A and B are shown apart, each in its own frame.
Chain A
Amino acid sequence: MSDQNKSLDPRIARLELPQGESIVKPDEYWGTFEVFLQEKRGKFHQHVGSVHAPDQEIALVFAKEQYARRGKCVNMWVVKTTDIFAFPLADEDMFTTTPDKQHREAGMYKVRDRIQAYQEREKKI
């Protein structure tokens, strides 16, 4: 490819970095923040994604345009990803029997029959 045809678009022509080992300094790499968005006052903030940012203030500035430029939003939170304490993915099996435990749902109890019978009686009247 001749120089004349070389694209100026950095997505195509990558920056010519010096050969050899590259060392990323701590302040050259931004960490991530998780973004939580509240659609309406009183509703929960819900996780919508993440942003790269050098600190929480910039994270909030970025979060607004990444996640709240189209839909409804009244407030946002950002939390450093590393501050989120989570179960290891390998522990997913702790949750496997949850769908089987129907005794934890009100619909499972005998009284349900009586409620249904009552509702049908009411309907007839």
Chain B
Amino acid sequence: MQSLKNFLYTIADDNLILGHRNSEWTGLGPVLEEDIAFSSMAQDKVGLAYQLYQLLHTDMGEGHPDKVAFARTETEFKCCQLVEYPIGEYDFSLVRHFLFDHAMYELFSMLTTSAYPALAQLAVKVRGELKYHVLHADTWLKKLGNGSEESKARMQSALNYAYPLALGTFEPLEGEQELVQYGYFEGMVVLQERWLASILPVLETAGLKLPVNAEATFGGRKGYHTEYLAPLLKEMTEVFSIDPEAEW
């Protein structure tokens, strides 16, 4: 089913690309403990992408996960533009992690009752992992939002910058109606509502405000990407491209 394939690629690509991006902090994180925590969560994202590519491979006849991750062209990726942006400074990386992981937590909570059993099973498994990601993000957001004048200003401006991109996560999918009809997924509109309901109380405690009249940055789901994705893919696939047929 094309719409289901497209849906799985969408979530997998989001996680693969942000997992790769966030791993750029490894060795450079603000303090040792945070470096390890952030790197470990980046690894979780790559792991989640792998499991989704694996579903596509075994249940839907798509290519091997390695091929799918490392041998597709830029326009074949379905990730939203939020995940493509460079890590920037830690304020942006943290705010993106907060916005994205809340969306993933709500998505996978939703998918625990998906009519596609393998996906529902995976959702039950990863929900606990995502719960920690959200706890990590919320804890930092509240600390920094209520920290010094500088930390508060930095978090607010990172939020202003990242929010329209985060809205792009909920870009309507191709064949979404079909997914809803078959009970595979409740749809992006419902997901966005739940996401908002889960981030708003945290933002309030953190003393941060959502920018008004923000317009969603769409395009990623249709293969239109920012200038940042191509260099990322080049770096990510460098080793694989040396010998695509190599056995690891």
A: residues with CB less than 8 A from B are 9-11, 30, 51-55, 57-58, 61-62, 64-66, 69
Contact call A66/B33, Cβ cutoff below 8 A: yes
Q: Which residues of A contact B41 (CB under 8 A)?
A: 65
Taking the complex as formed, is B230 at the interface, i.e. its CB lies under 8 A from any CB of chain A? no
Q: How far is the CB of B215 from chain A (nearest CB, A)?
A: 33
In this complex, how many residues of chain B approach chain A with their Cβ under 8 Å: the count is: 16
A69 to B40, CA, bound (A): 8
28 chain-A/chain-B pairs, Cβ below 8 angstroms: A9-B27, A10-B28, A11-B27, A51-B33, A52-B31, A52-B32, A53-B33, A54-B143, A55-B143, A57-B139, A57-B143, A58-B139, A58-B140, A58-B143, A61-B37, A61-B135, A61-B136, A61-B139, A62-B33, A64-B132, A65-B36, A65-B37, A65-B40, A65-B41, A66-B33, A66-B36, A66-B37, A69-B40
Taking the complex as formed, is B34 at the interface, i.e. its CB lies under 8 A from any CB of chain A? yes
Interface residues in B120-134 by Cβ distance below 8 A to A read 132
Contact call A30/B31, Cβ cutoff below 8 A: yes
Q: How far is the CB of A79 from chain B (nearest CB, A)?
A: 16
- Other than the given A52-B33, A62-B33, A66-B33, 10 more pairs (CB < 8 A) read A9-B27, A52-B32, A57-B143, A61-B136, A65-B33, A65-B36, A65-B37, A65-B41, A66-B37, A69-B40
Closest to A54 in B: B143
A10 to B29, CA, bound (A): 11
Q: Which residues of B contact A51 (CB under 8 A)?
A: 33
Q: Which residues of A contact B139 (CB under 8 A)?
A: 57-58, 61
Q: How far is the CB of B150 from chain A (nearest CB, A)?
A: 13
Q: How far is the CB of A30 from chain B (nearest CB, A)?
A: 7
Interface residues in B31-71 by Cβ distance below 8 A to A read 31-34, 36-37, 40-41
Q: Which 6 A-B pairs have the closest CB atoms?
A: A65-B37, A62-B33, A65-B40, A61-B139, A51-B33, A61-B136
Q: Which residues of A contact B135 (CB under 8 A)?
A: 61
Q: How far is the CB of B186 from chain A (nearest CB, A)?
A: 30
Q: Which residues of A contact B36 (CB under 8 A)?
A: 62, 65-66
Q: Which residues of A contact B32 (CB under 8 A)?
A: 52
Q: Which residues of B contact A69 (CB under 8 A)?
A: 40
Q: Which residues of A contact B28 (CB under 8 A)?
A: 10
Closest to A11 in B: B27
Q: Which residues of B contact A53 (CB under 8 A)?
A: 33
Q: Which residues of B contact A62 (CB under 8 A)?
A: 33-34, 36-37
A10 to B41, CA, bound (A): 22
Q: Which residues of B contact A9 (CB under 8 A)?
A: 27
A33 to B135, CA, bound (A): 19
Encode contact with A along B125-163: 1 for CB under 8 Å, 0 otherwise: 000000010011001100100000000000000000000
Q: Which residues of B contact A10 (CB under 8 A)?
A: 28
Q: Which residues of B contact A54 (CB under 8 A)?
A: 143
Closest to A64 in B: B132
Q: How far is the CB of B94 from chain A (nearest CB, A)?
A: 12
Q: Which residues of A contact B40 (CB under 8 A)?
A: 65, 69
A57 to B32, CA, bound (A): 17
A53 to B36, CA, bound (A): 13
Closest to A63 in B: B33
A69 to B42, CA, bound (A): 13
A117 to B135, CA, bound (A): 60
Q: Which residues of B contact A66 (CB under 8 A)?
A: 33, 36-37
